[in-house]
Every structure is written in structure tokens, then in C-alpha cells.
Amino acid sequence: EDKVVQSPLSLVVHEGDTVTLNCSYEVTNFRSLLWYKQEKKAPTFLFMLTSSGIEKKSGRLSSILDKKELFSILNITATQTGDSAVYLCAVAGTASKLTFGTGTRLQVTL
Amino acid sequence: EPEVTQTPSHQVTQMGQEVILRCVPISNHLYFYWYRQILGQKVEFLVSFYNNEISEKSEIFDDQFSVERPDGSNFTLKIRSTKLEDSAMYFCASRTGQTQGETQYFGPGTRLLVL
């Protein structure tokens, strides 16, 4: 059975801090790993990673995948209160269905 | 920017009633999915749909569930006889299908409450 584990489960930081969110996985027929941000309702897409060692970057967010060790990290630098959300890691396997982790709840305080 | 849309945003129903949740995937997308998220739990895969048939379904997707693409734009999830434990947020997602494992884009969800 495919499995995705995220850590930490929750995190409270001050605005301006840098955070690292972790995602490890076990999946048959790995196709890609995706990060989503979930604020109130729908998960909104952040990154898709398919190759090891290639960093994806968007503004203050970046992510990298290690296919040998089966994990990914999501970094957020200079956090802002608008970054407060649940960050979901998902892996696409057979038939490209997504298996999600439980998410990391990030709260950024002033 | 194209989006996946879902209706209704909220649905309250009595146990045993049938519900139909509707989704309009992004127009050039070929693969469609339903997921659900019970309050406080992880997002779970229900079913994937391609070329007018189910490609894969989870153990959750039993005989009470069905999916349909009745026309060129809508994608529906029907629950025939709702149970209390069907209360959840239901998300529709779609992707183009140009490559394997590519990004799925999610709709805003329908919150279903079964009383």
C-alpha cells in the first residue's frame, strides 16, 4: 500500500523565519511528488517533482526530491502570515492517483 | 486561468438519500478524479476516470458510489444511499493526460453533511 508521511504535523513560527517541511514516501510505480497548499478548501498546486536533486523554486518557496532516500523537503524562507496553511505532500503512483500525507499545519505569527 | 469548478459548495442530506455532486473539469483535461477528506483527516483517493470509464478505484468506492460524464463538460459523483460516515469534503480534480504523473488541479470542493 502506498504511504506518505509528513513531519512535523504542526509548526508555529514567527514572521521572517525559515521553515523546512518534510515528506517521506513508499509507493509502487512512482511517477511524481507534488506539494499543495491548503488554506480553507481546495489544495492549490505548488510544485511537482519528478527528478532527484533538481530544486524547484517559486519566490520564497523551494522544493527538492531525493528518489534514492524517498523523501522531499519544502522550504519557505522569510515566512509571512499569508503562508499560514496546511501543506500537503502527495505522490502519484499507479494510474496517477495521488496518495496524500496528513499534512503539516504551519502557523506564522507576527 | 482555467479552474475546476464544483457544485454545490455545501449539501446537507438525510441518511439513505441519494446525492449527486457535480464537477466541471478544466476543458482540455482528459483524466478526472474524485477525492474526499473527512474532517481532520487526510485527503483520500476515491476514483479515477478516463475515456468514459473508471481506471482505478479505492476500497472506499463501493457499490454505493458511481461516476459519470454525462456530457462533454460535467463529471458527477453519485452516492446512492448516503451514510453518516459519508460526511466529508469531496474534491474533484483533473489533469491533461499529456504525461504520466503530471499535476492534478483541484476544485473548491463540496462539503457533504449526512444527518
pLDDT tens-digit profile of B47-86? 999 989 999 999 999 999 999 998 878 999 999 999 999 9
Nearest CB among B42, B89, B91 relative to A102 is that of: B42
Query: A41, B101: Cβ pair inside 8 Å?
Result: no
Sole residue written with cell 480534480 = B93
CB A107 within 8 A of CB A12: yes
What the block records as the C-alpha cell of B50 is 478516463
Please name every residue paired with B75 in a beta bridge, in sequence order, or none if there are none. Answer: B23
Instruction: Map residue A96 onto helix, strand or coil.
Output: helix
pLDDT tens-digit profile of A77-103? 999 999 999 999 999 887 678 999 999
Q: In this predicted structure, what is the pLDDT of residue B102?
A: 80
What is the pLDDT confidence band of residue A1, given thresholds at 50, 70 and 90?
Answer: confident
Please name every residue paired with A30 in a beta bridge, in sequence order, or none if there are none. Answer: none
B110 Cβ under 8 Å from any chain A Cβ: no
> What chain B residue is nearest to A104 in terms of C-alpha separation?
B42
CB A55 within 8 A of CB A77: no
For residues A16-26, average pLDDT: 97
Closest CA to B64 of B46, B49, B50, B42: B46
CB atoms closer than 10 angstroms to residue A1: 6
A-B Cβ pairs (cutoff 8 Å, strict): 64
Task: Give the type of residue at A55.
Answer: E
A46 DSSP 8-state letter: E
